[in-house]
Amino acid sequence: MNVFVAGFHHETNTFAPSVADWAAFECGAGYPSYARGEAMLQKMRGTSTSLGGFAQAATERGWSLLPSVWAGAMPSNRVTAQAFARICDEIVADLQRGGFEAIYLDLHGAGVAVGADDAEGELLARIRAVVGPAMPIVASLDLHANVSARMLALTSAMTAFRTYPHVDMRETGARAAQMLARRLGSTPRHRHAERVPFLLPLNAQCTLMQPAASVIALIDRLEAEHDLELNFAMGFSAADFSECGPVLFGYGADAASAREAVQRLHAEVVSRRAEWSLDLLSPADAVERAIELAAVSSAPVVIADTQDNPGAGGDSNTTGLLHALVDAKAGLRLDGRVALGLLFDPASARAACSAGVGAELNLTLGLAVPTWSGALTDAPVKARARVLAVSDGVVPLFGPMTAGATAQLGPCACVEVEGIRVLLSSAKAQMLDLDLYRFLGVEPTQMKLLVNKSSVHFRAAFTPIASSILVAKAPGPMAADPGDLPWTKLPAGMGSRP
């Protein structure tokens, strides 16, 4: 069997300061860069992505893959109309050549484009217009997908990650292949979906913690007991459109069993509503608490700079935590064993690279950027810095989420500011891998305090080495509390807070 394959990934924060234009997809940054045709398969085979997992499972089944487009860009504000049109047009042009019996799509599920609030639904509609209603279409989704009614109606089946941090992407792709094989048979699969009536904060969605862990465990039990395929798409709570939010959905040979299982999952999520919220620390409180903990621990304390997470629409360039570290004299109090990364600051990174290792220079680090409230984040940090290491930013990754991938970060440098090691990059990338410290000479296990620009993904690599993990709410473009955002399109009855 020939299977048409394509991928489109963008997690859209409609309150973020930057947009995703075509250059963002060509760059990729934390994603594999844009590719089309056989180059796409060569880029994705063997990676930890869903498409990599699907490709291996398809090969094992003897299927041939007809590659179309892979397009992924770092989370930001909306995909531009031009970029979205090009992605859709290239996929449609490849579809029109025919020669396949089924379609697999590696989608994120939380894309918003200019003129298309439900970007994946719009892409699927264009695909269905070419291939007709009978063609099997199966898609894999990110756990943070905002699953729309249109997406459900236009696909034969969808399956979402079950871990956050996302360490099961390959398994999800393989599961999509299994689901596609089932759709080739004559036995119909019945679908049922239930929408959760409130948004979930990003940090609370971590499946290493409760209540998310219990919901995923219940999915596993129900599938083991019945002939079901169940999903909990927790939603990306920063996309201002009418279908933003968590959705539970599933498929089964028996319609009643599918409905009952999804309703049981829905009841589990809603009944534990109060548990989906988190206590967050101010930057000053987080740093002071971390210094106290680090002083009596042999392993590093990690602070998550969650509201500047470049994996959720931040630009990884705000300075609230850096100011707090400097004000608390963290570098001096912890013997210089303090590091922050990655700070997206191309100008400072290039200046440090030009100056060279050992040089001292005056730098203005970070930016004051607007947030959803219209207020600016903290001012840049002006400091005398010493260059400790430089790099071309080509970083092979080996962590639990990223094994097999290579980050392309452009000129990068590690500079020391008052005993604090600040890792500067020329491309946005979430601090989700120990290698993103090591490539600039910082061994994270030897630090006493690490500040990571991330919300949850860092936990996959850093939990095993950390003595404690704290979450700080420094000013930034990604609201840790979705209730802080000025929503305009959420329907009546949809809560912006748990």
| C-alpha dist (Å) from residue 446 to 288, 301, 466 | 20, 11, 11
498 upstream amide cis, omega within 30 of 0: no
The string of pLDDT tens digits covering residues 325-360 is 999 999 999 999 999 999 999 999 999 999 999 999
Examine the pLDDT at 185 and tell me if it is beyond 90: no
The string of pLDDT tens digits covering residues 19-75 is 999 999 998 777 888 999 999 999 888 888 999 999 999 999 999 999 999 999 999
Mean pLDDT score of the chain, rounded to an integer? Answer: 96
Q: What is the mean pLDDT of residues 205-210?
A: 96
Nearest to 302 by CA among 413, 425, 454, 477: 454
Q: What is the mean pLDDT of residues 168-185?
A: 96
Secondary structure (H, E, C), the chain: CEEEEEEEECCECCCCCCCECHHHHHHCCCCCCCEECHHHHHHHCCCCCHHHHHHHHHHHCCCEEEEEEEEECCCECCECHHHHHHHHHHHHHHHCCCCCCEEEEEECCCCCECCECCHHHHHHHHHHHHHCCCCCEEEEECCCCCCCHHHHHHCCEEEECCCCCCCCHHHHHHHHHHHHHHHCCCCCCEEEEEECCECCCCHHHCCCCCCHHHHHHHHHHHHHHCCEEEEEECCCCCCCCCCCCCEEEEEECCHHHHHHHHHHHHHHHHHCHHHHCCCCECHHHHHHHHHHHHHCCCCCEEEEEHHHCCCCCCCCCCCHHHHHHHHCCHHHHCCCCEEEEEEECHHHHHHHHHHCCCCEEEEEECCCCECCCCCECCCCEEEEEEEEEEECCEEECCCCCCCCCEEECCCEEEEEECCEEEEEECCCCCCCCCHHHHCCCCCHHHCCEEEECCCCCCHHHHHHHCCEEEEECCCCCCCCCHHHCCCCCCCCCCECCC
pTM: 0.93
* Exposure letters 119-132 (e unless 16+ CB within 10 A, then b): bbbbbbbebbeebe
Read off the amino acid at residue 339.
A
Place of tokens 């840790």: 480
pLDDT at 40: 94
Percent of the chain past pLDDT 90, that is, above it, reads 92
Q: What is the mean pLDDT of residues 256-274?
A: 97
What CA dihedral angle connects 177, 146, 81 and 93, to 10 degrees? 20
The string of pLDDT tens digits covering residues 109-164 is 999 999 999 999 999 999 999 999 999 999 999 999 999 999 999 999 999 999 99
Nearest to 309 by CA among 202, 455, 462: 455
Examine the pLDDT at 447 and tell me if it is beyond 80: yes
Cβ atoms 229, 189 nearer than 8 A: yes
pLDDT at 63: 98
CA separation for the pair 172, 139 (Å, rounded): 10
CA separation for the pair 101, 5 (Å, rounded): 11
Examine the pLDDT at 281 and tell me if it is beyond 80: yes
Examine the pLDDT at 374 and tell me if it is beyond 90: no
Looking at the DSSP assignment, which residues form a beta bridge with residue 309? none
pLDDT band of residue 403 (cuts 50, 70, 90) is confident
pLDDT at 383: 96
Cβ atoms 293, 345 nearer than 8 A: no
